[in-house]
Structure 1
Amino acid sequence: MTDIPLEHVHVAPEDGSDGEPAPAVFVLHGRGADEEDLLPVAAELPDDRHVVSLRAPDPLQGGYTWYELDLSAGGLESSQPDAADFRRSLDLIVESVEAAVDAYELDADRIGLLGFSQGAITSLSLLLEDPDRYAWVVALHGYLPESHADLDPDGIEGKPVFVGAGAGDRVIPDSRTSAAVERLEAVEAAVTHGSFPGGHGIGPQELEAVVEFVESQAR
């Protein structure tokens, strides 16, 4: 759809919605991937909702990236998003969500976010900027960037958030994910947290936990 700012893949619900707006999950991939990367994960979710998988705006190594990395604090394990790139992507995602709600007749009150790595970082930041926009968030192998770590917005209390980490993740260590969990719990989000075997990827145990979490959300 040309009126949606970001390139994307849209998958309509399989079971139909009798003409009523249906819930949706917006999928945000990781650095160097594309809008098709997480479709196998999204395919495991309940089939009563739209899937809108967005492509990040900037090309990178055969894929795309949401932002460049600020490595001024050290190596990859202490990196932060480049501020200007990050702001641009956050705004593009919000604009794309709003446009897709109209284009695909989505239920604006039942919008979820599912992100991996950079997509998880972006998803958590979007949630803290505007908790009322999203019904739930799944953030896998990400962290809260410094730009958003101190936000305490109205509407975050009780918001369902699933945060997954890899016990052997060397790209985004479990310690950074745990710090995000602690902050989300401090602002009273309803956090489900799991650390799973493996590195920087989504294994079968983590996928099973994600599906269980999404299924538990109100339809």
Structure 2
Amino acid sequence: MTDLPLEHVHVAPDHDAGPAPAVFVLHGRGADEEDLLPVAESLPDDLHVISLRAPDPLQGGYTWYELDLSGGGLHESQPHVEDFRRSLDLIDESVSAATDAYGLDADRIGLLGFSQGAITSLSLLLETPDSYDWVVGLHGYLPDSHLDLTPEGIEGKPVFVGAGTGDRVIPDSRAEAAADRLAEIGADVTYETYATGHGIGQAELADVVAFVEARLR
């Protein structure tokens, strides 16, 4: 396996005919790089899948950052600033390294994240929108550190935001606020809610697959 700054799993596309599009997958808190592979396996076969592992061990899995609960508990949590910055930089470095190592099409790279991975994915999009062709953020939110960013290149960028109406970890109101903010600054946002908790159900998965397929046409 190719060395990247972050441990990872790479699944190559079925047909190797030169540089191909890719999706970088970012798991949630306490999970690992294997956790979202069943989701990634449902995506089109012509994608490279690079599922990254967060840097810090946590309860048998890994985390992208510790939580800042000073704002009022879990429902108002924010990423710990220094941890978050380190993970954003490590992901950025890993995307760059994988693009060279695996011969990815640098103009057709997507991000797919769940929970902490969604928060991280949406933040990366706002930092360098030209680096990503599309983003899927499921059951996440935009952190305070990135709320005021209005980067060039965000206009028309396809973003799918999914939320669960029964989510007791990250309420759908936080995901909706992220979708509203992204739309306000010009992204092409698809926002959907599902009668689920903090997890990805079949209806949500089907909508994600349709969204990604549309980006690859």
Matched, 1:79 2:83: no
Q: Which amino acid aligns with 1:127?
A: L
Q: Which residue of 1 aligns with 2:11?
A: 11
Give the ranges of 4+ consecutive aligned residues of structure 1 lying more than 2 Å apart after TM superposition: none
Aligned counterparts of 1:17 and 1:108: Cα–Cα separation in 2: 16
What is the CA deviation profile of residues 60-84 of structure 1, one whole-angstrom value per residue up to 9, with x for unaligned ones? 0000000000000111000000000
Matched, 1:53 2:61: no
Q: Give unmatched runs, 5+ long, in structure 1.
A: none
Cα displacement (A) at 1:3: 3.4
Kindly indicate whether the alpha-carbon contact (under 8 Å) linking 2:26 and 2:51 is maintained by their aligned counterparts in 1.
yes
TM-score by length of 1: 0.98
Q: Which residue of 2 aligns with 1:217?
A: 215
Aligned counterparts of 2:40 and 2:147: Cα–Cα separation in 1: 27
SS in 1 for 2:42: coil
Aligned counterparts of 2:170 and 2:200: Cα–Cα separation in 1: 13
Q: Which residue of 2 aligns with 1:171?
A: 169
Among all aligned residue pairs of Structure 1 and Structure 2, give the percentage whose two residues are the same amino acid: 76
Aligned counterparts of 1:104 and 1:2: Cα–Cα separation in 2: 8
Q: Which residue of 2 aligns with 1:136?
A: 134
SS in 1 for 2:57: strand
Aligned counterparts of 2:55 and 2:2: Cα–Cα separation in 1: 15
SS in 1 for 2:146: coil
Matched, 1:146 2:144: yes
Kindly indicate whether the alpha-carbon contact (under 8 Å) linking 2:2 and 2:101 is maintained by their aligned counterparts in 1.
no
Q: Which amino acid aligns with 2:194?
A: F
**Which of 25, 28, 34 is the aligned partner of 2:26?**
28
**Which of 177, 197, 200 is the aligned partner of 2:198?**
200
RMSD value, Cα: 0.8
Describe how 1:31-46 pairs up with structure 2 within 5 A: 31-46=29-44
Q: Which residue of 1 aligns with 2:114?
A: 116
What is the CA deviation profile of residues 17-73 of structure 1, one whole-angstrom value per residue up to 9, with x for unaligned ones? 32x100000000000000000000000000001000000000000000000000001
SS in 2 for 1:209: helix
Aligned counterparts of 1:181 and 1:212: Cα–Cα separation in 2: 18
Q: Which amino acid aligns with 2:61?
A: G
SS in 2 for 1:217: helix
Q: Give unmatched runs, 5+ long, in structure 2.
A: none
Q: Which amino acid aligns with 1:6?
A: L
What is the CA deviation profile of residues 150-178 of structure 1, one whole-angstrom value per residue up to 9, with x for unaligned ones? 10000000000000000100100000001
**Which of 60, 63, 83 is the aligned partner of 1:62?**
60
Cα displacement (A) at 1:197: 1.0
Count residues in correspondence. 217
Cα displacement (A) at 1:91: 0.0
Q: Which amino acid aligns with 2:24?
A: F
